[in-house]
Amino acid sequence: MNINYALISALSAESAGLTVTDIIVGNHLSGVRLSNGAVGVASTEPHAGDGPPPGAENVTGLQAAAVIDYLAQPGMARRSVALATVNAVNQSRAARYPLDTSNQVMFDALGIERGSRVAMVGYFSSLLPRLEERGALVEIVDRSRGMGEPDDFNKKLGNWTDALLLTGTSILNNTMEEILNQCHPGVKVAILGPTTPLVPEAFAGYNVRILAGTVVSDGAAVFSLIAQGMGTRAIHAHSRKVYCTLPAFQTG
């Protein structure tokens, strides 16, 4: 099943009866607050200038399920708000997942060690020193920054890569499944970043080992930072960095 539709299906029961009470769309992040007080965030579509991106709309008062349905519709701005809503609906479950503040668990789950060949979709500058410490070889592509050559990168997914670090924002531009399908069967995949929906059942059938995302712990502070144009690093002090392993790869 398409990942977007799988997310819609997975959250249908949990979203029942919930409405969107507040929304904010900043330069880097979008935030949604629900009628039960839960808050979720997701990356905002890259755009020029201040204010919300083209296509953004006010969804205050709508049923959470109706906003999540935007995942199946055109427009990155809509999908950004939909993913923030997914993460808000899923907040109570995600809050029970364990912490991985140093990325130690993620790197171990992917088997990253000296000589490991790591492909990175989305530029995660904070991870590079840790990857260097482990002696990994890294190839990066980030379309929004003009980094890397996508065609060459995709070939390496098929014949070179040991582990893939894949940004959750690839759901926004509908490239996630294309990227995952380029990987040879032995590639170990982590999906990461604040956009990442910590909904393991939505990724069944793909070689995704671990989901690493963000659970907001202080919604008011996060909304304030988004309003100031702040991004992921700024909200770390008001959120928890957690992970879940997919059932097919759990041990013990």
Together in a domain, 46 and 90: yes
19, 180, 193, 205 from 159: Cα distances, Å: 46, 13, 26, 20
List CB contacts of 13: < 8 A, sequence separation 6 or more.
Answer: none
Shared domain check, 132 and 63? no
Same domain, 85 and 182: no
Q: What pTM value is reported for the model?
A: 0.93
Can you spell out the DSSP letters for 85-133? HHHHHTHHHHTTSPB-TTSHHHHHHTT--TT-EEEEES--GGGHHHHHH
User: What is residue 252's predicted lDDT score, i.e. its pLDDT?
Assistant: 44
Judgement on whether residues 123 and 245 belong to the same structural domain of the protein: yes
Q: How would residue 54 be classed by pLDDT, with cut points 50, 70 and 90?
A: low
Same domain, 69 and 153: no
Domain encompassing residue 133: 104-214+239-249
CA 9, CA 215: separation in Å to the nearest integer? 21
Q: Is residue 202 part of a domain?
A: yes
Domain presence at residue 74: yes
Burial (0-12, 13-18, 19+ Cβ within 10 Å), 34: buried
Domain end marker among 45, 72, 94: 94
Beta bridge partners of 157: none
What is the CATH number for 123?
A: 3.40.50.11590
Q: What is the pLDDT of residues 1-19, one digit of tens each?
A: 599 999 999 999 999 999 9
Which of 89, 98, 95, 96 is closest to 10 using CA atoms?
Answer: 89
- The Cα 118–Cα 131 span in angstroms is 9
Q: 35 falls in which pLDDT band (50, 70, 90)?
A: very high
Please indicate, yes or no, if residue 234 is contained in any of the structural domains.
Answer: no
CATH code of the domain covering residue 19: 3.30.390.100
